[in-house]
Amino acid sequence: MAARNTRLMRCTPDDLFAVLSDGWLYPVWVVGAARMRGVDPEWPQEGSRLHHSLGVWPVMIHDQTELVEWDPPRRLRLRPEAGILGRGVIRIDVREHAEGVAVTILEEPVSGAAAVLPSLLWRPLLIARNHECLNRLAFLAEGRREEREARELDHRTETPDPDDGTPSPQAREDVREASV
């Protein structure tokens, strides 16, 4: 049984998938991914990979994550691989909600050290980790929404002034008073 977490995010599916489509942001929202070593130029096409490291220097494990399914605005499936730690499957499901989107992460180890352990041991750890992953992902996606809304406000067209730049009588009076 996979570890499952869900979180409400106040953003659009497009905001969320814009974050997910930037492979260089992976270690910003994925707990445990310490640094990026590379992103396949085809990312986020299915079959492309993220190359990153896990751990803390000087003990780092080179990892890679393959994109298995890319179906915005509904789903993303990943297959992380971390050497002896093994491989896993991660599915991120997105559904619209009255206040934004509900995002669910399901994760399960399928091979390696974690897969031989009983789920009683790995599930609570993945649930805690993915709780923080969703918090970080929300921070990024909701920030994109706020930036987009600010840009939209900055780019609104203004109603033309009927005088088209002609100073009002009050402005002319203010100029006269200031020059005296």
Check: CB of residue 89 under 8 Å from CB of residue 111: no
Q: What is the pLDDT of residue 59?
A: 87
Answer whether residue 20 shows pLDDT above 60. Answer: yes
How does residue 165 score in pLDDT terms, banded at 50, 70 and 90?
A: low
Q: What value does the mean pLDDT take over residues 45-51?
A: 98
DSSP β-ladder status, 49-56 and 88-97: unpaired
Q: What is the pLDDT of residue 153?
A: 76
Distance CA 105, CA 123 (A): 13
Q: What is the pLDDT of residue 114?
A: 79
Domains defined along the chain, listed by start: 3-155 (3.30.530.20)
Helix (H, G, I), strand (E, B) or coil at 173: helix
Helix (H, G, I), strand (E, B) or coil at 114: helix
- pLDDT digits over 98-153, tens only? 999 999 999 999 998 878 888 888 899 999 999 999 999 999 999 987 787 777 77
Collect all residues with Cβ–Cβ distance below 8 Å to 42 and sequence separation of at least 6.
48
Q: What is the pLDDT of residue 53?
A: 94
How does residue 156 score in pLDDT terms, banded at 50, 70 and 90?
A: low
Q: What is the pLDDT of residue 147?
A: 81
Distance CA 144, CA 146 (A): 5
Q: What is the pLDDT of residue 57?
A: 83
How does residue 154 score in pLDDT terms, banded at 50, 70 and 90?
A: confident
Task: Tell me which long-range contacts 104-110 makes (C-beta under 8 A, separation of at least 24).
Answer: 104/4, 104/5, 104/6, 105/3, 105/4, 105/5, 105/6, 105/130, 105/133, 105/134, 106/2, 106/3, 106/4, 107/2, 107/3, 108/1, 108/2, 108/3, 110/86
Q: What is the pLDDT of residue 51?
A: 97
Distance CA 122, CA 120 (A): 6
Tokens (6 digits) for 77: 């499936």
Q: What is the pLDDT of residue 82?
A: 82
How does residue 160 score in pLDDT terms, banded at 50, 70 and 90?
A: low
Answer whether residue 166 shows pLDDT above 70. Answer: no
Q: What are the φ and ψ backbone dihedral angles of 123, each rounded to 5 degrees?
A: -60, -50
Tokens (6 digits) for 13: 């599916």
Distance CA 38, CA 24 (A): 8
- pLDDT digits over 59-101, tens only? 888 999 999 999 999 999 999 998 778 899 999 999 999 999 9
